[in-house]
Chain A
């Protein structure tokens, strides 16, 4: 009986094996990987295109290639971290999506001033002031927060909380302006939120349920 066609094929190499090979095999693997990354970058740019309406066709394609190039460097640098706990394609996509998302957010905010005053609160308060009195307890919880922000947060925590959480400035845009990292800023935001919860709990609010009704 003739051997099965499937069994007679050479064993298929994994992505990491191909990328660690020498010469033309590695070059081909890198080319294939770049295609995957470019596909993911274009996917993300398409999803977020409305945020960068000024980008023209060529700019858009250049940006997709920049994202894929940067993601390729990141993937090759982190190849030893891939432990096969997910598909290789899913693992690499996240690098390209990340590069594209960050670049879109930064371009969308290019030349714009970062609002560090709590404008969101001011807008809501202005609307509240036009509302009839006695709107219930939720209004008191909201009213308690600006004072807590002023009293218990450090200047840096207040700056990060107001910009990111209240005025919805993307955290990586703020990180770039403040010359720090997204992780460091999120740590400040996390600490600020914990302080606010503690301050409100001390004032008798049920912080276990506050802010839980609407999740982003």
Chain B
């Protein structure tokens, strides 16, 4: 196997493990994430410690691809207006 293919398999394995096992830390639910998302994004835009202020958000965004997309878009839109 070439080095490139080996690396590709290793990355695939790690991605699968990450997706299957999700975050190890406590996380908020999808509903709580939506509720807190605007505050979280504004703290990020202000370069404040959003994770300390709203614990459980980061873990949820790592575990939930749909909420992660909502977060990316809000950060891009609201952050772009500052």
Contact = CB atoms under 8 A, between A and B. Distances in A.
Interface string A145-182: 10001000000000001001110101110000000001
Interface stretch (A1-9, A13-21, A24-32, A183-191): A183-191
B66 A93 contact: no
B70 A97 contact: yes
Contact of A212 (B24, B27, B64, B81): B24
Given A86-B38, A196-B20, A214 B14 contact: yes
A87 B17 CA distance: 38
B77 A40 contact: yes
A197 interface: yes
Given A90-B78, A93-B77, A197-B24, A211 B14 contact: yes
Contacts of A200: 21
Interface residues of A, number: 58
Nearest to B12: A124
Interface residues of B, number: 41
A138 B38 contact: no
Nearest to A81: B35
Contacts of B39: 85-86
Given A183-B31, A193-B21, A216-B18, A128 B9 contact: yes
Interface string B18-48: 1111101001011100100111011000000
Contacts of B13: 124, 138-139, 141-142
Nearest to A128: B9
A127 interface: yes
B49 to A, nearest CB: 16
A29 B38 CA distance: 21
Nearest to B62: A215
B63 A97 contact: no
A216 B24 contact: no
Contacts of A172: 66
A127 B5 CA distance: 10
B16 A142 contact: yes
A211 B21 contact: yes
Interface of A: 40, 43-44, 47, 85-87, 89-91, 93-94, 97-98, 101, 105, 120-121, 124, 127-128, 130-132, 135, 138-139, 141-142, 145, 149, 161, 164-166, 168, 170-172, 182-183, 186-187, 189-190, 193, 196-197, 200, 207-208, 210-216
The list of the 10 closest CB pairs from A to B, nearest first, reads: A193-B22, A211-B21, A86-B38, A211-B17, A211-B18, A214-B14, A165-B19, A90-B78, A90-B38, A86-B42
15 contacts: A43-B77, A93-B78, A97-B73, A101-B69, A124-B13, A124-B16, A127-B9, A132-B1, A138-B13, A165-B22, A186-B29, A211-B21, A211-B24, A212-B24, A214-B17
